[in-house]
Amino acid sequence: MIHVLDVLRVEPGRLDDVLRRVRDEYEPLMRERDMALAHTWIAPAVELADRPTELLLVWALPDVAGFWRMRTTAAGDARVLAFWDGVEPLLVGRERRLMCDPDDGTVWR
């Protein structure tokens, strides 16, 4: 299994807007690509009024091939691009990390 960690650094006061857009727009698009939202967290554990709050989205994909299918199809989907264009002004920054269980020999060995 492949896990994707999206870290969205959200502008103060915009967390509800970003969460709504992720749930209403982005999550259904990713579900079409077999990417399931496994966890949603914020860090710190409260929304900050004077600093960005990190929105941590952990996604699960069945395997490496599934990751590349998702990546290829999402990159060419105007709806995905529109989501990121719309949410980008609400963010200070974002990053994505790919992760797997080091004992899962089907993934990286």
Tokens representing 70? 């998702």
Residue 109 predicted with pLDDT over 70: no
Say whether pTM exceeds 0.95: no
Which pLDDT score is estimated for 69? 93
Residue 15 predicted with pLDDT over 70: yes
Give CA separation, 16 vs 21, 53, 63, 73, 97, in Å: 9, 11, 31, 28, 23
Mean pLDDT (whole number) for 79-88: 97
Comparing C-alpha atoms, which of 58, 57, 74, 67 is closest to residue 107? Answer: 67
The domain limits of the chain are 2-101
Q: Could you give phi then psi for residue 28, rounded to 5 degrees?
A: -60, -35
Residue 108 predicted with pLDDT over 70: no
Longest dimension (CA), the chain: 45
CATH architecture under which domain 2-101 falls: 2-Layer Sandwich (3.30)
**Residue pLDDT, tens place only, 26-64:** 999 999 999 999 999 999 999 989 999 999 999 999 988
